[in-house]
Structure 1
Amino acid sequence: MMANLFSIFDPSSMLTLPLNWLAVFVGLFALPWGFWISTNRAAKFFTLVSDQLHSEFKTLVGVGGAQGHTLIFISLFLFILFNNFFGLAPYVFTASSHLAMTLALAFPLWLAFILYGWLSHTTHMLAHLVPLGTPPVLMPFMVLIETVSNVIRPGTLAVRLAANMIAGHLLLVLLGNQGPSLSSSLLSILLVTQILLLTLESAVAIIQSYVFAVLATLYSSEVV
């Protein structure tokens, strides 16, 4: 039962190629050509959102961030947001519900931050392992705890995004499968419930994209 239930997230293959992964890049072709060459409401809205994200991420990064530092996190937010919303459409592959994608986003960022921090700010990284005011007796344990927390960061980022997307989709599928066996009165209640859950999933898609980008920004601010 569980294998069949989770199989809805499996990418379909054609000629031994998992073509559904190409859905990740559909956003590059979804914008109309006029978006880039003329001023319209979509372009103004996109600029407004980008400016707001830039101001928030710039505050999180701090004064040590280089010019254009926030662009990678704005792009990360928009990329995840599109894939989360794209997966809410019926019969559309949800790439952000797979650890293969979420880990591919989280691990390179974390590795780049760690390498940059230890190579450029070694003293700061060593000092970060022991919080200020830690008793000498607890210092070895704090170093161990901080090291483990740093190592598991890409995993927690990836699992948080994938688990939240999977949970909502599974709930929608489980309720939707009950439709054929319900009466007309209960079916109307089910439809209202599905609409409310879809609205909740839309909010989760935005929140999880924002949380992923904010946490990545906070991790980068520690090494800048």
Structure 2
Amino acid sequence: MMTNLFSVFDPSTNFLKLNWLSTFLFLLLIPYSFWFFPNRMQKLWFNILLTLHKEFKTLMGPQSLQGSTIIFLSLLFFIMFNNSLGLIPYIFTSTSHMSITLSLALPLWFSFMLFGWMNHSQHMFAHLVPQGTPPALMPFMVCIETVSNMIRPGTLAVRLAANMIAGHLLLTLLGNQGPLNSTPVLSMLILVQILLLVLESAVALIQSYVFAILSTLYSSEVI
């Protein structure tokens, strides 16, 4: 009986010989800063971060606060991670739900507006009337610009959620037609789904980039 009790600690598995894999798992937890030379993945990651940082810094202008691009870089990679994770079967795409996208867009827009009206009120009022507007159209332009400014968080949230829902919904509808079709049609259906999956992978990256770029542009208007 004691042999059976301690047999769970024997180095034996029935599926794969991965007994000693847990011994090396600590290597995955070591931060990259402890390595003497950065690996290729780290170099690629740094190059991507540096390129995006330069682009965001250019959009925000020279008057932007130092380190402000970190917010938008974190936002971009957070959305990109969730969008890409949603392409895996049986994993819910959180960015396809309005509660997540609106929770990301609304605080950003509100903080931009609060900062702009508290520190640059004259600029915010002048922004309501585009340059060169005829005097007769100024009241209408103020209404139009105010409405367009108010719906910005909604457009950000709906754009991201709708793009993520559309592709997944199309893949689901095509996948449900598989058992009803013959073998040639099924082969064509699988090919179409593979192409749609590639397209969805591109959409997952592009939509995260669009969300971060638009947030950067909105912040540059109030600085």
- Give the TM-score normalised by structure 2: 0.85
Alignment-derived partner of residue 164 in structure 1: 163
SS in 1 for 2:136: helix
Alignment-derived partner of residue 110 in structure 1: 109
Deviations 1:178-216 (A, max 9, x none): 111111111111111111000000000011000000000
Alignment-derived partner of residue 3 in structure 1: none
Q: How does 1:95-174 map to 2 (within 5 A)?
A: 95-174=94-173
> What amino acid is aligned across from residue 69 of structure 1 in structure 2?
S
- Give the TM-score normalised by structure 1: 0.84
SS in 1 for 2:62: coil
Alignment-derived partner of residue 32 in structure 2: 36
Change (3 A) 1:40 1:34: farther
Alignment-derived partner of residue 62 in structure 1: 61
Structure 2 unpaired stretches of 5+: 1-27
For residues 34 and 87 of structure 1, what CA distance do their matches in structure 2 show? 28
For residues 94 and 121 of structure 2, what CA distance do their matches in structure 1 show? 37
Q: Is the 8 A contact 1:77 1:210 kept in 2?
A: yes
Q: Percent identity?
A: 64
Structure 1 unpaired stretches of 5+: 1-31
Cα-Cα RMSD: 0.9
SS in 1 for 2:197: helix
For residues 39 and 181 of structure 2, what CA distance do their matches in structure 1 show? 47
For residues 211 and 96 of structure 2, what CA distance do their matches in structure 1 show? 14
SS in 2 for 1:63: coil
What's the offset of the Cα at 1:48? 1.1
SS in 2 for 1:200: helix
